[in-house]
Amino acid sequence: MQSELHLQKNYLEGQKIETIYFGGGTPSVIGAAEIQKLVDTITTLHHVTPDAEITLEANPDDLENIAVKELRQTQINRFSIGIQSFYEEDLLWMNRAHNSQQAEASVKRVQDAGFENITTDLIYGYPLLTDQKWKSNIQKIIDLSILHISAYSMTVEQRTALAHFIKKGKQPGMNESQSAEQFLILIDALENAGYEHYEISNFAKPGSYSRHNTNYWKGVSYLGIGPSAHSFNGTNRQWNISNNTKYIEAILRGEVPAEAETLTLTDKLNEYIMTSLRTMWGMNLNLVEKDYSYDYYKLIIRSLDQFLEKRWVSINDNIVTLTKEGKLFADHIASELFVSGEE
């Protein structure tokens, strides 16, 4: 990846780097020394701000005492820990490597080492998860004083063992009604505990938003390194090839292992609609008119009428935000507001 960092050093055209995120798998398995080497390379090639948010995704079973102690010597200042559940049977059903004891212990271990900026992932909407167990999982996160929480509805990927078992009737499928109800339980519980629902899947105590993800939702440029990584610089979007062997072969040839496309005005607007509506900051209709066109502005206004009538959206000071019920239909609402046509 260091080689690709050098190959892609000009992609962001000298922009300041405010966040670094080690994710897209389980980067914690490569060790603190290698992580610091990558941070050093990024710092050498780019202007990284002194207060940059540097996040490491980690599974609970990777965060043993020695590993956490070594990571304390790096520039990592934020952890994203994939808890998923505190129930043993649920973790086994998900085929997770960690157990329920490790789930809680990993958080406390990181906190004891002096890391305060922590986010954890939870999963809901799967057959084993009763509402009572879900409330217990949420309360456990609250009791651990975690500043940021990401929660996702269970999805079944094609060509996985779970997908096969569901198809054969050996496992029940996902229930949309259950997922919707548990999403609403999540919102109520966390908002009552003082968290802000600042993005569809993300909650944080005031001032503890993920800077990295917030920049993404606000359309800030970013560079992705590694197989399947995506990048965006405001006008161009590119994606690395996913095949590990072909990725390495391209790097050895000194080639950027990516395909790219130039975004049209409508592409940019539709991305803005999708990402902005997911956040508490909403879609600014004044910005749509100013940066895109009055015609697009009028089209969106007309399309919004149906959702205003259903009370799925609200408009204040020409900013569109989703209501609590509207958050259940975020993707549908965005797709209905998309515009078509070329520049």
Please give the average per-residue pLDDT across 193-201, as a whole number.
Answer: 97
pLDDT, position 175 = 82
- For residues 245 and 225, what is the distance between their CA atoms, to the nearest angstrom? 15
Where do the domains of the chain lie?
2-216, 230-262, 265-337
CA dist., res. 337 & res. 299, Å (int): 8
How confident is the model over 105-164, as pLDDT tens digits?
Answer: 999 999 999 999 999 999 999 999 999 999 999 999 999 999 999 999 987 666 666 666
> Mean pLDDT score of the chain, rounded to an integer?
91
Mean pLDDT of the region 214-224: 90
Q: Is the pLDDT of residue 270 over 90?
A: yes
pTM, to two decimals: 0.90
Q: Each residue of 169-185: pLDDT tens digit?
A: 666 666 889 999 999 99
The whole-angstrom distance between residue 64's C-alpha and the CA centroid of its chain comes to: 25
Is residue 29 predicted with pLDDT exceeding 80?
no
Give the separation between CA 240 and CA 8, rounded to whole angstroms. Answer: 11
Whether 156 and 163 have beta carbons less than 8 Å apart is answered as yes
Query: Does 343 score more than 60 pLDDT?
Result: no
51: pLDDT strictly greater than 80:
yes
Find the mean pLDDT for residues 266-282: 95
* Average confidence (pLDDT) over 263-284: 95
Rounded Cα gap, residues 291 and 295, in angstroms: 12
Give pLDDT, residue 327: 96
Q: What is the pLDDT of residue 166?
A: 65
pLDDT of residue 93: 87
For residue 174, give the nearest of 191, 190, 153 by alpha carbon.
153
Torsion of CA 9, 13, 19, 22, to 10 degrees: -30
Q: Is the pLDDT higher at 222 or at 234?
A: 222
Helix residue spans in 55-175 (DSSP H): 65-71, 88-93, 100-112, 131-143, 161-167
pLDDT of residue 25: 66
Amino acid identity of 172? P
Pick the CATH number of 2-216 from 3.40.50.300, 3.30.70.3270, 3.30.750.200, 3.40.718.10: 3.30.750.200
pLDDT band at 216 (very low <50, low <70, confident <90, very high): confident
Neighbours of 309 (CB within 10 A): 9
31-48: per-residue pLDDT in tens? 899 999 999 999 999 999
Q: Indicate the fold that domain 265-337 takes in CATH.
A: Arc Repressor Mutant, subunit A (1.10.10)
Q: Work out the pLDDT band at 202, boundaries 50, 70, 90.
A: very high
2-216 and 265-337 share one fold = no
Instruction: Give the pLDDT confidence score for residue 164 in this predicted structure.
Output: 61
